[in-house]
Amino acid sequence: MKDKTQTTERVDALLAKMSIEEKVAQLNQIGGADWNNGPKPEEVIRKSGAGSVLWLNDTKRFNELQKIAIEESPSGIPILFALDVIHGYRTIFPVPLGMAASWDPNVAEKAQTVAAKEARAAGIHWTFGPMLDIARDARWGRIVEGAGEDPNLGSAMAAAQVRGFQGADEIDTEHVLACAKHFAGYGAADGGRDYDPVFLSEAQLRNVYFPPFKAAVDAGVGTFMSAYMDLNNVPASGNRWLLKDVLRDEWGFEGFVISDAFGVANLAVQGFAKDRKDATLRSLQAGQHMDMASSAYLENLAELVQDGLLSVEEIDEMVRPILETKVRMGLFEKPYVDEGLLEKVIALPEHREAARMAAQRSMVLLRNEGSLLPLSKTQKKVAVIGPLADSMTATEGSWMVFGHQPAAVTVLEGIRNKLPEAEIVYAPGPEIRRDIPHPFGEFDTIARKPVQTPEEAEAAFQTAVKAAQEADVVIAVMGETQDMAGEFASRGSLDLPGRQEELLKAVDALGKPIVLVLLGGRPLSINWAAEHVPAILEAWEPGTEGGNAVADILFGDVNPGGKLPVTFPRSGNHAPLYYARTLTHMPEDHERYLSRYWDGPTTPLYPFGYGLSYTNFEIKNLKLSASEIKVGETLTVTAEVSNTGNHAGDEVVQLYIHQKWGSDSRPLRELKGFERISIQAGETKQVSFQLGPDELRYWSTSAQGWIQDVAEFDVWVGSDSQATLHAGFEVVA
């Protein structure tokens, strides 16, 4: 890290000679795409410079615009080029929900390290990631972009991704500035409807939705992005409590905050601000440093200063962290990118190796009746069916960078690579597509096929059934297409779209061994399959090497060890559904409890933390270092894990607690520790966890503050959130 005072002095000197127009220009991020109907980037930059440019993915053009900023703008301040690099730039890794399913922070760190190296080589300085929104409603399309429903797992993934993107303290030329988004509470949109309002108590914010963001601050994240939606009727973009009181005054964040796209001007659209000028004033005073693409700051800030509604000092306070970031990233010394570098970087074999490893570790074995899996490699005839079996886009998943050409190894190709001698018959069956086209569809880089007619769909259906009929084993690759999850991609149902389940049933009736491979960015209510399809592998959207990783698992070269980072509900109507809820007066172990609904069970189809293996693990000998500790003290929890099967494999050992009473009602279970460990067949290993004030305190509604209660606790250690291996301890005064 460049010496702090040296940076401060340098920024002071810059500010001293900048006009108000130049200072305001640093608070502006220009929409660099040609569809963005703002002023042309060159004109704006030449006139007063620019804080940043986004929605551009063109190395040559980066250098062109940078040259204008350095040589033609009044103060020659370099530009930060920004883009959404969420799970890979050219080498695509599993979507973040998949990476979270690995329960291995090293997977996320490695993935974002590679993504940063490729993005920086392309000339991108700043990524709008990691996305840290806790999501407990699977209908919300952006659940794909985060780490799921739990703050403990989410915090571990947050810190790991910041380390991966930014590297160590210094953001060198192989790393990028990261951005913790969307601050805060976006995943709790009413009904899972993207952009809808959010109403969260301070306890829910502080105990559930904030922790991953705080973990990002503690890991040194350089920027934050405020969320679009109204949070308790105050849009995040104009929410001083969020952006100043919590983020800066409590957490000590010293970087800068950017709005989401057009978020400043949107304050008028949301009925919060009177007009663009009012939006500008209230957004800046709330602590939002940079305006993404709306140009409201550019148009109004200088006038607001002239009107005496804002002071130059307030403007300087917002410009300062932006300039400090540019100084510390060395942009003044090295503003340009070598235009030949990217091709060398993306050719590195270790990038695809890392992507394949990440995909392998992200996948979750949901069912394996009769140990159908792993399949033998001596299969003679394999039918690969389903609309996603050969879909590169469904394999790579949401949030591809602008201009990305799909290049993933599909499941079909992965199986062909694995079984070069076998006869592999591919039959997609009826296509699936959104009922309402995606509004971003215009940015697709591949032409969409014409809509299949009912006759064509029926013919495809029969062809797939016939292929299954003639095969020794059937592998069905089903789920959701790339645009069925992500932004603008919420849905009311969690069922398999289209005629996929119908095709599964038809194939199941043939009595053939069938494996279901799920691709997609959210939990799906595969109730029928969960009862009838013997083997089910959740592969999420596994990225460039996804098809090879699926084949590695299906044919036994890799033993799956992933666990669910989100609860799988039996229906979209049950959402939001999550494990860490309070007991209520009718706990689910109550003698009269049957279900919260009269029209079916409310239990999850698959619980948080669940995942199977080709081997078996036994977790035993749970021990606590003490049965009683004082407030503020720490106890150690240990247990043994044995691999009692005949395959080496990974187990994710999970620690849950329940505070049995207190100032507030507390969740019936809370994840407070986890470790993914590799264990050879027959081997036993020990795991240990700490339970201290950090794990036991919480923000209390009744106390209106952080407290650690004197109370009794349950402890469970096991392989998912329904673990039964139990012990207890007491916290005393």
Binding site for ligand GLC (CB under 6 A): 84, 128, 181, 260-261, 487
DSSP-derived letter for residue 291 is E
Nearer to ligand GLC, 52 or 395 (CB): 52
| Nearest distance, CB of residue 195 and ligand GLC, angstroms | 9
| Residue nearest ligand GLC by beta-carbon distance | 128
Q: How far apart are the first and last CA of the chain?
A: 43
What CA–CA distances, in Å, run from 652 to 108, 500, 610, 616, 641?
Answer: 16, 32, 9, 12, 10
Q: What residue has token string 């030449």? A: 46
Tokens of 25: 């220009």
CB 532 within 8 A of CB 501: no
40 by Cβ neighbours in 10 Å (0-12 / 13-18 / 19+) ranks as: exposed
Query: Which active-site residues does the annotation give?
Result: 260
Q: What angle do CA 40, 45, 46 make, to 5 degrees?
A: 100
DSSP-derived letter for residue 495 is S
Helix spans in 27-138 (H): 41-48, 59-71, 96-101, 105-122
SS3 assignment, position 12: helix
| Nearest distance, CB of residue 128 and ligand GLC, angstroms | 3
Nearer to ligand GLC, 263 or 335 (CB): 263
In the chain, % helix, strand, coil (3-state, to 5) comes to 35, 20, 45
Q: Name residue 367's beta-bridge partners.
A: 536
Nearer to ligand GLC, 294 or 525 (CB): 294
| Nearest distance, CB of residue 181 and ligand GLC, angstroms | 6
Residue 12's region, left for phi above 0, alpha for psi from -120 to 50, else beta, is alpha
| Nearest distance, CB of residue 487 and ligand GLC, angstroms | 6
| Nearest distance, CB of residue 448 and ligand GLC, angstroms | 22
Nearer to ligand GLC, 236 or 412 (CB): 236
CB 24 within 8 A of CB 298: yes
Nearer to ligand GLC, 153 or 258 (CB): 258
Nearer to ligand GLC, 55 or 540 (CB): 55
What CA–CA distances, in Å, run from 627 to 131, 255, 406, 668?
Answer: 39, 43, 56, 20
* 94: nearest Cα among 393, 364, 411, 397: 397
Q: What residue has token string 């690969």? A: 384
Amino acid at 44: V
Nearer to ligand GLC, 175 or 181 (CB): 181
Sheet of 291-292: strands edge to edge? 126-127, 80-83, 52-54, 28-31, 291-292
CA pair distance 217, 213, nearest whole angstrom = 6
| Nearest distance, CB of residue 261 and ligand GLC, angstroms | 4
| Nearest distance, CB of residue 447 and ligand GLC, angstroms | 23
CA pair distance 143, 126, nearest whole angstrom = 22
* 581: nearest Cα among 473, 669, 646: 669
Nearer to ligand GLC, 266 or 481 (CB): 266
Nearer to ligand GLC, 229 or 605 (CB): 229
CB 288 within 8 A of CB 237: yes
